[in-house]
């Protein structure tokens, strides 16, 4: 029996010819990620275990993004712990105020993840990087601590669900509508500890930002990871990142974009191919999948996940009677430049409705700068919105947009659980930037 794309990457990183679903393996890591909330816990475990150094200072990334700039004393202490650890271990990829961004938008932008990598992060949305053809998954802080020290992590090899895509998206629809539709179809545990592997001719019709958004929310279907095949769009994106970094436009001159030692070992096993300088893994024709889900992209409509589960999905056109108090456009799901552009195209000649607070959060400093240079920042302000420096802030009910009892928010974030953005009596509706911006103007949920 053949292997899925995910299984091939794991086999190569475990130094094995093949793996099967359910098998326990120990795999070498190309990158270990933590943020300002999860890293302090990992640092404590790292020290308790008696570790004295990280396995590779260039393969650990620490991003201060959840409560940065710090919102209170506890957040300041957490960030201080991260700063001291990064300094004492000479961590190359440490991102603080002025250089940081929301981690899952920042790392691809900085060239820290590439096709064929094996990545863990102490954040559940680490599955974002599957858009690049990498295996990436969220872990607990204890696993992060062990990963930083040893460069390895254990996994139970996941079985897989194939999501076969056909057609192309209609105007006004995006990757957010695709993943919300899929979660609505299979449920929040429909892919529990499975790999969600996206295939089909419809893949070529999706932008990289669409793919990042889709993989980002794979965890909301219970998946271990989400992953896309590496095609010309992927290669063009990775090439553009390399060109950007090589041109000296980025302050991080130690970005790793060499494919990683595990990737090179993967080539030796004969399980990978190459596209340019990238190591590419492809599913075998006879790979086994638990099931196949068919999605016609042309049938996708602007979709909203209503409280209090990402699977409680409905067409935006059916929700016009739901008035709102707040809109948040940003997060690791939808804070990239294309998301800002979608919001700008709606807000540039409009005004946020009276009684609605519209908060726009570019995901990285690069995205923020582009918004300024393109004149979008001014347009957002003129429309009556506020613009923040990069932060996860309101997504997890941290700060920059806490909801009071009875308030409703349309957000481009990824979770709408009870109390996720504030009071347990508040409500969060997940949507695309197009729907969020249009709703901000209308004062109620509506499609663009």
**What does the pLDDT read at residue 164?**
97
**What does the pLDDT read at residue 187?**
96
**What does the pLDDT read at residue 1?**
76
Pair 99, 233: CB distance under 8 Å: no
Decide the pairing of beta strands 159-166 and 31-35: unpaired
Please check the confidence at residue 250 and state whether its pLDDT lies above 60: no
Confidence of residue 16 (pLDDT cuts 50, 70, 90): very high
Please check the confidence at residue 278 and state whether its pLDDT lies above 70: yes
Please check the confidence at residue 3 and state whether its pLDDT lies above 70: yes
Please check the confidence at residue 261 and state whether its pLDDT lies above 60: no
- Percentage, residues of the chain above pLDDT 70: 94
Superfamily for domain range 5-294: Aconitase, domain 3 (3.30.499.10)
**What does the pLDDT read at residue 378?**
97
Please check the confidence at residue 162 and state whether its pLDDT lies above 60: yes
**What does the pLDDT read at residue 246?**
85
Cα distance between residue 433 and residue 342, in whole Å: 6
Nearest partner of 159 among 282, 285, 21, judged by Cα: 21
Please check the confidence at residue 262 and state whether its pLDDT lies above 70: no
**What is the rounded average pLDDT for all residues in the chain?**
93
* Span 140-161, average pLDDT: 97
* Span 280-302, average pLDDT: 96
Residue burial 158-171, b: 16+ Cβ < 10 Å; e: rest: bbbbbbbbeeebee
Judged by average pLDDT, the poorest of 223-227, 264-268, 280-284, 306-310 is 264-268
**What does the pLDDT read at residue 44?**
96
**What does the pLDDT read at residue 266?**
40
Cα distance between residue 86 and residue 234, in whole Å: 31
* Span 214-230, average pLDDT: 97
* Span 371-395, average pLDDT: 97
**What does the pLDDT read at residue 269?**
46
**What does the pLDDT read at residue 69?**
94
Q: Model-level pTM? A: 0.93
Judged by average pLDDT, the poorest of 13-22, 121-130, 243-252, 406-415 is 243-252
Confidence of residue 260 (pLDDT cuts 50, 70, 90): very low
Asked if CATH classification 3.40.50.300 holds for the domain at 304-442, the reply, yes or no, is no
Confidence of residue 448 (pLDDT cuts 50, 70, 90): confident
Strands (E), 45-121: 60-63, 93-95, 118-121
Domain with CATH 3.30.499.10 in the chain: 5-294, 304-442
Using the Cα atoms of residue 414, residue 415, residue 420 and residue 425 in order, give the sign of their dihedral.
positive
* Span 126-141, average pLDDT: 97
* Span 233-250, average pLDDT: 87
**What does the pLDDT read at residue 247?**
84
Please check the confidence at residue 263 and state whether its pLDDT lies above 70: no
Please check the confidence at residue 196 and state whether its pLDDT lies above 60: yes
**What does the pLDDT read at residue 428?**
98
Cα distance between residue 150 and residue 27, in whole Å: 11
Longest dimension (CA), the chain: 62
Cα distance between residue 288 and residue 146, in whole Å: 31
Confidence of residue 207 (pLDDT cuts 50, 70, 90): very high
Confidence of residue 65 (pLDDT cuts 50, 70, 90): very high
**What does the pLDDT read at residue 277?**
80
Confidence of residue 256 (pLDDT cuts 50, 70, 90): low
Nearest partner of 328 among 378, 381, 392, judged by Cα: 392
**What does the pLDDT read at residue 404?**
97
> In terms of DSSP H, where are the helices of 315-363?
337-347
């Amino acid at each position: 029996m053949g292997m899925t794309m995910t299984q091939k990457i794991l086999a190569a990183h475990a130094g094995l010819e093949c793996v099967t679903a359910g098998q326990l393996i120990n795999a070498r890591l190309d990158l270990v990620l933590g943020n300002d909330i999860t890293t302090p816990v990992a640092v404590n475990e790292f020290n308790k275990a008696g570790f004295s150094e990280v396995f590779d200072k260039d393969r650990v990334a620490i991003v201060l993004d959840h409560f940065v700039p710090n919102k209170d004393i506890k957040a300041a202490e957490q960030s201080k712990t991260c700063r001291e650890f990064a300094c004492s271990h000479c961590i190359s990829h440490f991102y603080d105020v002025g250089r940081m961004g929301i981690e899952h938008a920042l790392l691809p932008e900085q060239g820290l993840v590439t096709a064929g990598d094996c990545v863990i992060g102490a954040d559940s949305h680490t599955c974002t990087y599957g858009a690049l053809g990498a295996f990436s998954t969220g872990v607990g802080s204890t696993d992060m601590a062990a990963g930083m020290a040893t460069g390895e992590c254990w996994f139970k090899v996941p079985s897989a669900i194939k999501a076969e895509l056909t057609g192309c998206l209609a105007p006004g629809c995006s990757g957010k509508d695709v993943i919300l539709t899929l979660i609505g179809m299979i449920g929040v545990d429909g892919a529990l500890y499975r790999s969600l592997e996206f295939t089909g001719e419809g893949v070529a019709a999706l932008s990289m930002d669409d793919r990042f958004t889709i993989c980002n929310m794979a965890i909301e279907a219970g998946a271990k990871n989400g992953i896309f095949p590496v095609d010309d769009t992927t290669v063009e994106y990775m090439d553009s990142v390399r060109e950007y970094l090589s041109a000296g436009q980025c302050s991080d001159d130690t970005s790793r974009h060499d494919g990683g030692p595990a990737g090179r070992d993967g080539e030796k096993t004969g399980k990978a191919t190459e596209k340019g300088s990238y190591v590419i893994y492809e599913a075998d024709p006879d790979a086994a999948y638990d099931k196949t889900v068919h999605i016609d992209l042309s049938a996708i409509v602007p979709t909203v996940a209503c409280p209090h589960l990402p699977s409680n999905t409905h067409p935006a056109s059916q929700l016009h009677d739901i008035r709102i108090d707040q809109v948040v456009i940003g997060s690791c799901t939808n804070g990239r430049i294309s998301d800002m552009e979608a919001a700008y195209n709606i807000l540039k000649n409009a005004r946020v409705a009276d009684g609605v607070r519209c908060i726009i959060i570019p995901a990285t400093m690069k995205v923020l700068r582009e918004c300024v240079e393109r004149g979008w920042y001014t347009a957002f302000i003129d429309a009556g919105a506020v613009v923040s420096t990069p932060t996860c802030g309101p997504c997890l009910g941290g700060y920059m947009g806490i909801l009071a009892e009875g308030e409703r928010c349309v957000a481009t974030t990824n979770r709408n659980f009870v109390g996720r953005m504030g009071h347990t009596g508040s409500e969060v509706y997940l949507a695309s930037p197009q729907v969020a911006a249009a709703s901000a103007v209308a004062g109620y949920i509506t499609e663009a």
